[in-house]
Amino acid sequence: MRWYGLRAALLAVALCAASLAAASIWLGLVGAAAVSALLVALGWISFLSSERTVLSAVGARLVSEVEHPDLYKLVGETARLARLPLPRIYVSPTAQPNILTVGYGPRSAAVCCTEGLLRVLTPAELRAVLAHELAHVTRRDVAVSSWSAGVASLVGIRPFKALLLQIAAPSGREYGADTDGALLTGDPMAMASALRKIDTGAAASPLLPRGPLAAASHLMIAHPFPSAGAGRLLRTHPPTGERVRRLEALAGEPRSLRAAEFRRTPFRPLPG
């Protein structure tokens, strides 16, 4: 997580420095001051609006325990196991099976499942993908991903948007969340099975890579866009086959080794 955060911080510093240097050359000190104020304003806008932007892009709505008691039960059990507070739970009407988490910390996290995901996964598979999403929260890489989604939503040029997401949200974070989530539930094969179903469903019902949704794709557990054209340009996820292979290898380890690895995972009680 520190590496991902450092990459994002260096990217932000580089962009700000380039913008200020260009403003100083072409517009002088007054122009540099104006650009500096604009950059600060854009930074706050992206920070404050990223969650709303992402959830609106997938048409998500906050649901109650009365509406989805089984989902609340699974999320609550998994959150307690991960020693996290219960996140807010959203459901998107999207038919594609997918899930994402947005927020800047354990106490502000929001998990959003699509209706397609709730239809195709078994309870064990759903628990596995929820553990994956909560692993992003515990590893704190959800904060970097949420910030980058907010910034990318302000970028209108698609190649620049793709470059920003590739730097701020590298594919390696998914391997880490896969492993931590599988160790948390103790069922790597459920996670592998869920990934296969999600990948098949995403390929059968791809979303269109446009608008705010294009800036939020890296927050999802699987790439939601077509594998060609603009969808390929925005891809930030590792190949599903490789993710499944690693999970299958993890499932083949002796139980004692998995237990030792679990003790080294970043799940810790929250302060206070």
On whether residue 170 sits in a domain, the answer given is: yes
253 is known as an active-site residue: no
**pLDDT tens track for 88-109:** 999 999 999 999 999 988 999 9
On whether residue 190 sits in a domain, the answer given is: yes
Q: Say if residue 1's pLDDT is above 60.
A: no
On whether residue 24 sits in a domain, the answer given is: yes
- Could you give the CA distance from residue 61 to residue 56 in angstroms, rounded to a whole number? 8
Rounded to two decimals, the pTM is: 0.79
**pLDDT tens track for 109-136:** 999 999 999 999 999 999 999 999 999 9
The one catalytic residue among 51, 65, 125, 133:
133
Domain extent at residue 158: 2-263
Give the largest Cα separation in the chain, rounded.
65
Q: Say if residue 2's pLDDT is above 60.
A: no
Question: What is the per-residue pLDDT for 186?
Answer: 93
Give the helix ranges, DSSP H, for 140-205.
Answer: 141-153, 158-168, 172-185, 188-204
On whether residue 94 sits in a domain, the answer given is: yes
On whether residue 270 sits in a domain, the answer given is: no
**pLDDT tens track for 56-85:** 999 999 999 999 999 999 999 999 999 999
Question: What is the per-residue pLDDT for 134?
Answer: 96
Output the CA–CA distances (angstroms, integers) from residue 168 to 59, 181, 227, in the order listed.
Answer: 25, 22, 21
Please give the tally of structural domains in the chain: 1
On whether residue 96 sits in a domain, the answer given is: yes
Confidence of residue 258 (pLDDT cuts 50, 70, 90): very low
Question: What is the per-residue pLDDT for 194?
Answer: 97
Q: Which of 145, 130, 147 is nearest to 84 (CA)?
A: 130
Handedness of CA 200, 79, 269, 262 (dihedral sign): negative
On whether residue 191 sits in a domain, the answer given is: yes
On whether residue 12 sits in a domain, the answer given is: yes
